[in-house]
Every structure is written in C-alpha cells, then in structure tokens.
Amino acid sequence: MENIFGKTLNECKKLMEEAGEPSFRGKQLYQWLYEKKAAHLDDCTNLSKGLREKLKTRYAIEHGSIEKIQKDPVDETRKYLIRLPDGNSIETVLMSYHHGYSLCVSSQVGCRMGCAFCASTRGGKIRDLEAGEILDQIYLTEQEAGIRVSNVVIMGIGEPLDNYENILKFINIANEGWGIGQRKITLSTCGLVPQIEALAELDLQINLAISLHSPFQERRETLMPVAKKYRIEELLKVCNNYFTKTKRRITFEYALIEGFNDRPEDVAELAEILGKMPCHINLIGLNPVTESVYRGSRNVNFFSNELKKRGITCTIRRKIGDNIDAACGQLRQKADGMKR
C-alpha cells in the first residue's frame, strides 16, 4: 500500500483524477490529511464510501509510532524515539518557549556528513526520510503532547539539503497544509553550496542557518569534511548571493570548542569575514558526545562580548535538553541505550 500521508495538493488532485474523480476531491483529501488530521481514509467522511473503498485498494494513511519518550526534569524538553514503518528509527525533540512550541525534526535516518562533534553521523547514513515521514514527527508529537507546534527547526538527524526534494516537499505541506508559516521554519545545513544556490532561486521565506564553527579553512576541515569540498570563500560567496536574492538574513551557527575555535584570533577572523554581510551568529556551547574528543568552551560570554564590540550581531543559544541527550549534536538513530 502506498502511504498517502505526505502527498502535496497537486499529488492529491492527480490521484483523484486517476481514480476518475474531479480534482476538487483531491483538495478535500488534502484538507482531511493535514487540516483535520484524519487517522484513516474512513475518517474522510465527505468522500463517498465507494470512493474511500476504491482509494483503500491502493492507498493508506500510515504513521510511525513513538517508541520512547524522555522528559528533561529541568526545562521540560521532550525527546521522542520514533519508529518508522520500515523498522528504522529517528529522534525528534519538542521544546517549550514563551512564544509556543518548537519541534526539532530529523531529515534522514543517520547522516553521512561526518562532522567530528556530532552524534547523529555515527554509523553513517541509512536513507533519506520521505516528506511524510518528516511531517509525521509533527503529527506524532502534537498527538502525544496535546499541543500545537508553532515553529519547526530542521536540525535533527541528517543533512536537510542532502535530502533536497523531500525537504522542499515537506516545507510546502507544513506551510500550506499544516498551517506553519515559512518564517517559522528554520533549515540548518553544514553548507552544501549547490543546494544553497538552488534554494536562493525559490523565493522561500524560511530561515537559513549555516554551520560554520571556524573562520579558518584548515580548522573547519578538521571538524567538517564537507569543508574540503566547499571552501569558506565559496560558501560565503553563495551566502551573500542568497541574501541578495531573498533578502533573508542568514544565521551562522558556531559551536564553541575549548582551545580550538574560541580564541581571540577566531573572534578577529570571524569579524573580518562576516563584518560586511547581513547575518547573525548563533553561539552554541558544544554539547558532550561520548565518542568525541572535543569539549565545550568556557569562553562563551567572552566570545559573545568580543563579537559585539566588533559590531557583529550574535546571541548565545539557550542550552536545553542536555540532561536527556537532546541538545544540539546529540541526537542519534538508535532503538536502545537511551539515557534514563
């Protein structure tokens, strides 16, 4: 059976036309899937019983399942281990803020980017997530927690732009079907230059975050293998082009590592390469990962103050979920061994 959850409006219209129905039935189906959140085709009661039976010979509304939930006792962050229909699993994190609930979603089962400080890449990439499987993380957490997700950050397991087509499809459905504004969706990438170039042509209003982590080419290569393919100069050039075309300011993510990228010369070089670009720097206290030799910096406030003295806009990311390995860089594709 083909999963109908994750179909775009045009795809819903097309499958109705293939079933010999007028295309407006596709819009009705689309509304049942994402606005009314039907769990089964039989729930779509303004479609005739005969049509529902016809659709059921080929399609089903299929969701994953929540296998485990961890709740941080300090900040109430929730981490979900989600079992996919094929038996693979991913993690997603629900965060509470004064403005509402944000969900950090995964885009792949595993990751092949190989960043040295990230748990998500251990074991490599298994497969891409379908658009419906990314959206399903919103569906499942909203159902379990009884809340409405207002913001989505595509920062979980996987490199979103390595799953480009499914990510665009997800953004389309999350926005038009689920009702989450594009400006409330943030896509985080380690810096895949061709995909950033392609994204700039689409006139989306999403927020783009780029993992930078060092202003020096050689040090960035040590942390992020992708830097060997796309040098900092090339990445910054495409970022400038992205802003020119979209008028959307880019956020650069910078995980501060003790003795590695938290030095005075790092501040000076960051200010030099980013000083003329409309951007924002999000400073992240590196979170511990068992297999990594890197440790978080104790100079976060110093680094922030020095950047501001040089006219660079920056903030320090609020540290949440680290009691349950749900903080930045700690998510894994795993079915057991979750810290209790």
What is the reported pLDDT for 338? 40
What is the reported pLDDT for 137? 98
Asked if residue 99 belongs to a known ligand binding site, the reply is no
The per-residue pLDDT for range 5-47, each reduced to its tens digit, is 999 999 999 999 999 999 999 999 999 999 999 999 999 999 9
What is the reported pLDDT for 218? 97
Asked if residue 118 belongs to a known ligand binding site, the reply is yes
Q: What is the largest CA-CA distance in the chain?
A: 70
**Residues of the chain where predicted confidence (pLDDT) is lower than 50:** 324, 326-327, 329-330, 335-340
Smallest CA-to-CA distance from 155 within 122, 125, 190 is with: 190
Which residues are identified as catalytic? 91, 328
Asked if residue 111 belongs to a known ligand binding site, the reply is yes
Element (H, E) at 125: strand 125-128
Q: Domains in the chain, please, with CATH?
A: 2-60 (1.10.150.530), 65-316 (3.20.20.70)
What is the reported pLDDT for 335? 47
Measure the N-to-C terminal CA separation of the chain; round to a whole number of Å. Answer: 37
Asked if residue 211 belongs to a known ligand binding site, the reply is yes
Residue 83 phi, psi dihedral angles, 5° rounding: -90, 125
Helices (H), 184-231: 193-200, 217-223
What is the reported pLDDT for 11? 98
Asked if residue 236 belongs to a known ligand binding site, the reply is no
Q: Are the CB atoms for 118 and 111 separated by under 8 Å?
A: yes
What is the reported pLDDT for 326? 46
Asked if residue 159 belongs to a known ligand binding site, the reply is yes
What is the reported pLDDT for 330? 46
Q: Which residues contact 328 (CB under 8 A, 6 or more apart)?
A: 155, 255, 284, 287, 317
CA quadruple 297, 300, 301, 306: dihedral, nearest 10: 110
What is the reported pLDDT for 51? 96
